Amino acid sequence: MSPVRAGFLGGGFMAAVHSRAARAAGARLVALASSSPERAAQAADRLGIGRPAAHVAELVTAHDIDVVHVCTPNRDHAEQALAALAAGKHVVCEKPLATSVEDARAVVAAAAEAGVAGAVPFVYRYHPVVRQARELVATGAVGRILTIDGAYLQDWLLESGDTDWRADASLGGASRAFADIGSHLCDLLEFVTGRRIVALSARTSTVFDTRAGSAVENEDIAAVVVELEGGALGTLLVSQLAPGRKNGLVLELHGSARSLRFAQERSEELWIGSREGSQLVLRDPGAVGDRGLSLVPAGHPMGYQDAFNGFVADAYAVLDGASPDGLPTFADGLRAAEITDAVLTSARERRWVDVAPVPAPPESPAASKELT
């Protein structure tokens, strides 16, 4: 297939990560649009992307673009994804897919209708040891899953002077910490265990009423108790005010035979616990589940950008008609919106809330639309 021709909306940290991954996947980096033509020109130059676009509409309708990467503030994700889908583009949209369940549903429906691919970067699925953990659960090595202990802790919003658009509910959405990083934790939990969250009870807190002089209307912290299909119970803590935790995503599960623990800041390791003794397994290309995600031999640490590169390579493979195992699609973006909505409802009404079951995937000729 001719190289995928990629366009980018947004010029910040995630646009840099997406563009590096697109380049690694062999794409042509055609154009970038941002909040102004000047910012687009600066970002296109900094990221080595073909040309700046005057605005979003120009980019999503460009004849020489096949895939649009949406890397803008959360409020714009659904609208921009819908515009790209309406133009027949495949879309890789940063999470959250939308800031409401209703908008997320609309994006899922639009992608199915357009018969194009839609992916959302729940990229922690792409660490090889995460696939190994998933395989150990799927093959029964862990036994019956009994409990989950998960957390996603950061410290970049620890001080009242720390802020960015995520702390503005009109740009980031009604949920901040949970929608931003709790969504990764829940996606990883459901992906590794193969079991859905069926009910939850949540509390949230906002430590500072204002940040850098602006009112704050979304949460800094979420504590959630979850019940999974099959009866497993779990506790999840999400905070962006945990000193010293930079990107502290941790998932630990306890089965009737073994326990597993993955810590993203030590992404080459998988802890496997048992009553007879425990082991710390290092990433190994020959391990079950690796599926070719290991790009280098054991002992040569891979990292976050490698995981992202694996995700984008899979997202692009769909354009060739492939169905990569474990690719997070728009359906997973909708799932995250449903769980986030349940967390906000539970915290507001101080009660257990059932989480909407996952609908059957719509029959769609997704990505059957070969690139011309």
Stretch that binds ligand SOE, among 50-58, 179-187, 312-320, 363-371 (CB under 6 A): 179-187
Return the SS3 of 135.
Answer: helix
Q: Is 71 in the site for ligand SOE (CB under 6 A)?
A: no
Q: Is 247 in the site for ligand SOE (CB under 6 A)?
A: yes
Residue 168 or 180: the one with the smaller Cβ distance to ligand SOE is 180
Q: Which residues contact residue 122 at a Cβ distance below 8 angstroms, ignoring those fewer than 6 apart?
A: 95, 183, 184, 187, 188, 191, 328, 332, 336
- Closer residue to ligand SOE in complex, CB, 181/251: 181
Q: How far apart are the first and last CA of the chain?
A: 10
Q: Does 17 bind ligand SOE (CB under 6 A)?
A: no
**Closer residue to ligand SOE in complex, CB, 247/274:** 247
Q: Does 306 bind ligand SOE (CB under 6 A)?
A: no
Edge-to-edge strands, sheet with 118-119: 51-52, 28-33, 5-9, 67-70, 90-93, 118-119
Q: Which of 91, 112, 181, 241 binds ligand SOE (CB under 6 A)?
A: 181
Residue in the shown chain whose Cβ atom is closest to ligand SOE:
180
DSSP designation for 63: T
Is 337 a binding residue for ligand SOE by CB under 6 A? The answer is no
User: Interface with ligand SOE includes 206 (CB under 6 A)?
Assistant: no
Distance from C-alpha of 343 to C-alpha of 359, rounded to nearest angstrom: 19
Measured between alpha carbons, how far is 119 from 329 in angstroms, rounded to an integer?
4
Q: Among residues 175, 158, 128, which one has the least CA distance to residue 348?
A: 175
Distances, alpha carbon 50 to alpha carbons 28, 41, 42, 55, 215, in Å: 8, 10, 12, 15, 39
Number of residues that bind ligand SOE (CB under 6 A): 5
Looking at the Cβ atoms of 180 and 338, the one nearer to ligand SOE is 180
Task: Map the footprint of ligand SOE across residues 140-159, applying CB under 6 A.
Answer: 154
Is residue 305 near ligand SOE by the rule CB under 6 A?
Answer: no
Candidate list 66, 76, 103, 180; residue touching ligand SOE; CB under 6 A: 180
Kindly list the residues in this chain that would bind ligand SOE in the complex (CB under 6 A): 154, 180-181, 184, 247
